[in-house]
Amino acid sequence: MTFKDEKGIHTDFKERMTYGDYLDLDKILNAQNRLSGHHDEMLFIVIHQVSELWLKLTLHEIHAATEAIQSENYDGAFKMLARVSKIQSQIIQAWDVLATMTPAEYLEFREHLGQASGFQSYQYRLVEFALGYKTPHVLKIYEKDPELDARLKEAYESPGLYDVAIQALAKAGFEIDSEVLERDLTKTYEANESVEQAWIEVYRHVDQYWDLYELAEKLVDIEDWMQQWRFRHMKTVERIIGHKVGTGGSSGVGYLKKVLDHYFFPELWNVRTKL
């Protein structure tokens, strides 16, 4: 069967919306503006733009999952969080594509980036904030854009995914320290003994606390993938620029190695040892 045999296919779009119209493809496909004449700059731009689109969807799902947990719609939250993990796997694989670019090729256009750097990705900061990693010094980067600055500050001051998971433990009857439930949300979350003991009980009585157990495992999935993303990022940067300072002024590989030691949901990892 050929195209002409498909009698029902629509071909007249003079007054109808097309696939390209719906997706606004003209804007998307004309947004790759190379500042150099080098072939591989296209690869560099596309990889980062695709990653930002995946980050947008990640935020969409995490925010919805956070609201679902607050309303005790666990099944809905589980589906959204499972989707986040699948998105993360796609972003990780993007590093493998970028790693096909050699150091010599990157040097051909690196100077054109100026001080622009992935370090400045506001969506990545929003993901970190949503996972409870609050770093006040990064907010200064976005002060030149009042609307964006306000959005970052709102996320910075709001409860994250793990905050509502801990609230769910309290709703289930676990005794959680008030200093955790009433903590300053602008501070990076730190491990707490009462939270750890609650998760230990959840893992010891899976049938009794199935929703909380499943929630814990979904959070571990997300953190696991997040750490794999961070590792692939660090190794790709090391492969391409070694230990040079990043275009944004960070120590590059040194900085990326340090963040590998951070845990978003520390008690869920401590539980593995304590059980």
Known binding-site positions for heme = 233
Report H helices in 71-192.
74-98, 103-107, 122-130, 146-156, 161-171, 178-181
Torsion region of 30: left, alpha or beta (phi above 0 gives left; psi -120 to 50 gives alpha):
alpha
* Integer CA distances (angstroms), 2 to 5, 9, 184, 191, in order: 5, 12, 64, 62
Give the number of other Cβ atoms within 10 Å of residue 216's Cβ.
Answer: 20
- Residue type present at position 109: F
| Nearest CA among 250, 245, 74, 234 for reference residue 168 | 74
The C-alpha angle 82, 84, 88, rounded to 5 degrees, equals 120
Binding residues for substrate, by number, are: 44-48, 106, 110, 247
CA distances from 1 to 5, 6, 8, 12 (A): 6, 8, 13, 21
Binding residues: 44-48, 106, 110, 233, 247
At residue 187, the 3 state secondary structure works out as coil
- Give residue 16's identity as a one-letter amino acid code: R
Report the alpha-carbon distance of residue 74 to residue 66 in Å, rounded: 10
Query: What are 265's two structure tokens?
Result: 């949901």
